[in-house]
Amino acid sequence: MAVFRRLTFLVCVIALVTCFLLIFTIGPGPFATKLTSHVKQRSQLPKSLPRPGSCTCSKGSVLLKDRIPQDVYNELEQRRAKEFKEYKARQTSVLSKLLYALPNSPLQYPIQGVVVRPLIAALIPGLALHAGKRPSYKVSLKVSIGVLSTVGSGEGAVVKGVGERELRMESSNLEILNNLLANVSYTSTIYHINTGDLVSFQFEDHEAVFPITIKQSHIPVLWDTGADINSQVSITVKAFMRYSKVRVLVDSIRKFYPKIKIIIADDSLVKENITGENIEHYLMPPAQGFFAGRNLAVSQVTTKYFLWVDDDFLFTVNTQIEKFVEVMEANPDLDLLGGSVKGNRFYFSILHEEGDEAEGDCVYRKSGGKFHAIPGYPQCHVVSGVVNFFLARTDSVKKVGFDPLLRRVAHSEFFMDGLGSLMVATCDDRSAMYIDHQPKKGEPSSYMHFRHPGKEDDKFKLKHHYFKNHMKCVRYG
């Protein structure tokens, strides 16, 4: 009986060792083929990310469609759907497609960073095949809006499809094949300044898909900052009917910055002249609004940065533009940096949740919301929006712009339009990044009529958000 048990144990050990060797033997075989098939079956992956569902409007949100008059709602909704479809077409490309790297692939390929210029041939780096011994090795590459080519030794290999969308190569020598792969180039066949193509790379049952970015190179636009603050920064102001306060502001600026350029956009009902050295005073049609004036003022800036101030602000010894510039120069990814107005830093975060294409998105502007400190400047934090006292990169703000349809109810709206385009921060440094505010007294009675807009302005803004920003709801918290 003991002998029988020993023989049974020996047979089991031999069987286990045999299975182990079959599983881990290098090279193809019937069992290995079944195992590979099993792995591929388990690796079935989704083709793309699911579309966003309906977003959740937080408590206290305004449902914007409820603010649209019923007699115009259906037509407005159709126009919005058409515009949003065109917007999505401009924002998405094949580069948005979700791609996966499958396990146990013998294919080597670049997963990121292949950028080519339109219509110009460029090598695809990193292509190679790593496979065990075969009688012959056959690979193919396919693209959609370009053509493929290769150069190198053609001896010992068959190459088909040079200059076409599908390139096929076969050789009994892996080294020769990899030499051909190392010299594969891609040329787009359409001119587009920012799009992409997907390359399908196949060997036997293995397929890898990777992106190529097609992008027209930019000609650099650099700003000569010169030797002093006057060549780095311009001060921009929107003026409306408060000339006495504008003059006080200008006098306070000149006390600390005698030569800095001041740009004033003025849409007052009755005009007065504002003159002085290095002052540019631009007159607008009456009551065009805050954002129209901002656009005009910023359009005339010729310096790398501009400092935005309201027409009733007041420079003090603690208004040090150089400190703003220092932080911005140390953090070149920042586009806009806010300070404090009479101790008030008013800043906010914007939480944006994508919704479905029919209803739109949900937006929450959270007052006092901030993200994290800026490296090296613990008193400064990244936010989404700031008060009307900020230093900004001129070219960054010009790309976003100010919506001139918003005349009097407008501030957060600029930062909503710039969400995802502008890196914004705020600094709590009252010794250097502070500006004072003039007393409220002395303002013309006609100005107060425009200063406090009626309900119609607010209604228009909400309707505008519904269409322009594709919003379902918005909350100001």
pLDDT in tens, 314-351: 999 999 999 999 999 999 999 999 999 999 999 999 99
Q: Are 184 and 176 in contact (CB under 8 A)?
A: no
Query: What is the side-by-side strand order in the sheet with 471-476?
Result: 62-63, 471-476, 361-367, 348-353
Domain at 229-476: CATH architecture: Alpha-Beta Complex (3.90)
Tell me: domain 96-215, CATH 2.60.40, correct? yes
Question: Exposed e or buried b for every residue in 373-404, given b needs 16+ CB within 10 A?
Answer: ebeebeebbbbbbbbbbbbbbbebbeebebbb
Helix axes 455-468, 70-91, angle to 10 degrees: 40
Which pLDDT value is given to residue 7?
47
**Do 345 and 272 contact (CB within 8 A), yes or no?**
no
Query: Which pLDDT score, from 0 to 100, does residue 43 have?
Result: 43
Alpha-carbon distance of 305 to 104, in angstroms, equals 52
**pLDDT < 50: residue spans in the chain:** 1, 3-4, 7, 11-43
Q: E strands within 285-360?
A: 305-310, 313-314, 336-338, 340-341, 348-353
CA 150 – CA 159 distance, rounded (Å): 9
List the alpha helices (DSSP H) in 165-221. Answer: 174-181
Q: Of 276, 114, 284, 272, whose CA–CA distance to 198 is shortest?
A: 114
pLDDT score for 48? 60
Write out pLDDT tens, residues 279-320: 999 999 999 999 999 999 999 999 999 999 999 999 999 999
The encoded tokens of residue 113 equal 């960073």
- Distance of alpha carbon 113 from alpha carbon 14, whole angstroms: 51
Angstrom distance (rounded) from CA 440 to CA 40: 73
Q: What is the DSSP letter of 50?
A: P
CB 329 within 8 A of CB 241: no
Beta 434-437 vs 340-341: how paired, if at all? parallel
Between the alpha carbon of residue 208 and those of residues 40, 115, 127, 281, the distances in Å are 13, 18, 11, 61
The identity of residue 279, as a single letter, is I
Q: What is the pLDDT of residue 448?
A: 61
Q: What's this model's pTM, rounded to 2 decimal places?
A: 0.84
CB atoms within 10 A of CB 50: 6
Q: Delimit the domains of the chain by residue range.
A: 96-215, 229-476
DSSP single-letter state for residue 133: -
Exposed e or buried b for every residue in 264-302, given b needs 16+ CB within 10 A?
bbbbbeeeeebeeeebebeebeeebbbbbbbbbbbeebe
Expressed in percent and rounded to 5, the helix, strand and coil fractions of the chain are 30, 25, 40
Same fold yes or no, 96-215 and 229-476? no
| CB of 187 closer than 8 Å to CB of 164 | no
